[in-house]
């Protein structure tokens, strides 16, 4: 089916998911919208998160997407069920794929999750993990400073190391912890520093690759995949500064991001 896959996020973090989609589904066109002007979503009340997410979805639906990926853990936690009911296209979040990936690798059954305040407060990851395996011991920790750090585009090694060290201190004393879920799609951008802080005995899990595999499976099962042969042109939109978005994207994506467009999304329709 010659229609694009839509990807939404509160900012640039969802590029970590978009990159995996492009790697695993190289013929599919991606339309990405990052709500950078209102990022982060984590500290916001649920009503705002729902409203902002619906506004982004309305924008992408007008682009005639065939499948929606909510590449934001906070938005997934609060809107996945709503959007599945509201839309007549497949909707995929990042929490269930991340939980499944963690369960595959943990040996000690001791798993930790780091995320935004909203994701941690929702308890979406512990619920998803325990639903799959009740034998797990799950701890969680909000790391709000990570999103602001990533969105700033300031990737000074010294600054990142300091913020990561201070934020993860509560997890360092946990005995037997062998798996850490990056419960925010911004966090993989600083995954190397997180890994260095936690040590090689801890397996770091990012939901991007697992989410892309789920998208691939659904496209195949529902016969929605693109059948031709092409090098697709992906489209990137942001509600914030397109130059900063492009700068960050080109530090992270495999292929150059040549154009990013600024959009003003409808802030009245879903109120």
Q: Which residues contact 53 (CB under 8 A, 6 or more apart)?
A: 8, 70, 72, 75, 78, 79, 83
- What residues act catalytically? 72, 184
Q: What is the mean pLDDT of residues 74-99?
A: 96
CATH entry, 95-207, from 3.40.50.1860, 3.60.150.10, 1.10.3720.10, 3.40.50.300: 3.40.50.1860
Q: Which residues are annotated as a binding site for substrate?
A: 9-10, 41-42, 73-74, 185-186
- Domain 5-93+209-262 and domain 95-207, same fold? Reply is yes
Average pLDDT, the chain: 94
Phi, psi (degrees; rounded to nearest 5) at 32: -115, 135
Name the pLDDT band for 156 (thresholds 50, 70, 90). confident
Residue closest to 181 by CA, chosen among 162, 150, 202: 202
pLDDT at 59 over 70: yes
Q: What class is the 5-93+209-262 domain?
A: alpha beta
Mean pLDDT, range 143-164, rounded to an integer: 90
Residue whose entry in the numeric block shows the structure tokens 């992906």: 234
Q: Which parts are annotated binding residues? A: 9-10, 41-42, 73-74, 185-186
Which two structure tokens, joined as six digits, stand for 210? 């697992």
Residue 190 DSSP label:
G
Q: In what order do the strands lie in the sheet with 91-92?
A: 91-92, 67-70, 5-9, 30-34, 235-238, 260-262
What are 48's two structure tokens? 């705002």
- 270 band by pLDDT with thresholds 50, 70 and 90: low
Give per-residue pLDDT as tens, 198-247: 999 999 999 888 899 999 999 999 999 999 899 999 999 999 999 999 99
Domain boundaries, the chain: 5-93+209-262, 95-207
Place of tokens 């260095």: 196
Chain CA centroid to CA 69, Å: 9
In 3D space, the residue among 159, 165, 172, 102 whose CA is nearest the CA of residue 133 turns out to be 102
pTM over 0.75: yes
Q: Is the pLDDT of residue 86 over 60?
A: yes
């Amino acid at each position: 089916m010659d229609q694009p896959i839509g990807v939404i996020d509160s900012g640039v973090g969802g590029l970590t998911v978009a990159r995996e989609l492009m790697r695993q589904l190289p013929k599919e066109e991606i339309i990405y919208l990052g709500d950078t002007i209102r990022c982060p979503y984590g500290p916001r009340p649920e009503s705002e998160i729902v409203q902002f997410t619906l506004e982004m979805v309305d924008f992408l639906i007008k682009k005639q997407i065939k499948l929606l990926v909510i590449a934001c853990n906070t938005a997934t936690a609060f809107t996945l069920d709503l959007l599945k009911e509201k839309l007549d296209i497949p909707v995929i979040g990042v929490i269930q794929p991340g939980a499944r990936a963690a369960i595959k690798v943990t040996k000690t059954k001791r798993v930790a999750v780091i995320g935004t305040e909203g994701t941690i407060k929702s308890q979406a990851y512990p619920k998803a993990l325990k639903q799959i395996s009740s034998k797990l011991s799950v701890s969680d920790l909000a790391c709000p400073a990570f999103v602001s750090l990533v969105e700033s585009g300031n990737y000074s090694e010294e600054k990142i190391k300091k913020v990561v060290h201070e934020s993860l201190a509560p997890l360092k004393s946990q005995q037997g912890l062998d798996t850490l879920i990056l419960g925010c799609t911004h966090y993989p951008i600083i995954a190397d520093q997180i890994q260095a802080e936690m040590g090689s005995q801890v397996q770091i899990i990012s939901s991007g690759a697992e989410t892309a595999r789920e998208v691939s499976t659904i496209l195949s099962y529902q016969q929605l995949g693109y059948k031709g042969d092409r090098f697709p042109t992906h489209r990137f939109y942001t509600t914030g500064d397109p130059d900063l978005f492009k700068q960050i994207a080109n530090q992270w994506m495999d292929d150059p991001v040549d154009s990013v467009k600024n959009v003003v999304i409808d802030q009245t329709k879903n109120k």
